[in-house]
């Protein structure tokens, strides 16, 4: 099992460009999450998907959109990137939401917006 995989590992964008961060899990988990990590700010929840077909906003959703493509895949889109979105982005998954199950994290995508 690969667990949670994320692509790309690194990305540099110019202000105003768009891109999609990809996440996939092979653990048959129902719930998936996107976080961003900034120095001194910990992990902040952007969006999550409790189950296939549902998504909901987290703490910092502005400037992002998500798509739960199927049970395995959960993508994060930046429509018009801004320097404030420079961060490390982590995807995570858990067996189910509404219960207290472990979240498994991917290796992260380091994004720089110039």
Which residues are at the interface with another protein (CB under 8 A)? 4, 31, 33, 35, 40-45, 48, 50-51, 54-56, 58-59, 90, 92, 97-100, 102-108
* Nearer CB in complex with another protein: 17/103: 103
What minimum distance in Å lies between the beta carbon of 54 and another protein? 6
Name which of 60, 75, 92, 84 is nearest 19 in CA terms: 75
Q: Name every residue whose Cβ is closer than 8 Å to that of residue 9 and which is 6 or more positions away in sequence.
A: 107, 108, 109, 110
DSSP 3-state assignment of 83? helix
* Nearer CB in complex with another protein: 47/113: 47
What minimum distance in Å lies between the beta carbon of 80 and another protein? 26
* Nearer CB in complex with another protein: 40/62: 40
Q: Name every residue whose Cβ is closer than 8 Å to that of residue 41 and which is 6 or more positions away in sequence.
A: none
What minimum distance in Å lies between the beta carbon of 70 and another protein? 18
What minimum distance in Å lies between the beta carbon of 52 and another protein? 12
Quick one: tokens of 88?
């490390």
d(CA 90, CA 3): 13
């Amino acid at each position: 099992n690969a667990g949670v995989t994320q692509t790309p590992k690194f990305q540099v964008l110019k202000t105003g460009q768009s891109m999609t961060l990809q996440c996939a899990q092979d653990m048959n988990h129902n719930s998936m999450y996107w976080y961003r990590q900034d120095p001194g700010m910990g992990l902040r929840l952007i969006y999550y998907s409790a189950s296939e077909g549902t998504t909901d906003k987290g703490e910092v959703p502005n400037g992002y959109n998500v798509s739960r493509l199927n049970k395995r895949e959960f993508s994060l889109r930046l429509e018009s990137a801004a320097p404030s979105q420079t961060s490390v982005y982590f995807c995570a998954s858990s067996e189910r939401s509404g219960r207290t199950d472990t979240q498994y994290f991917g290796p992260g995508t380091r994004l720089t917006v110039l």
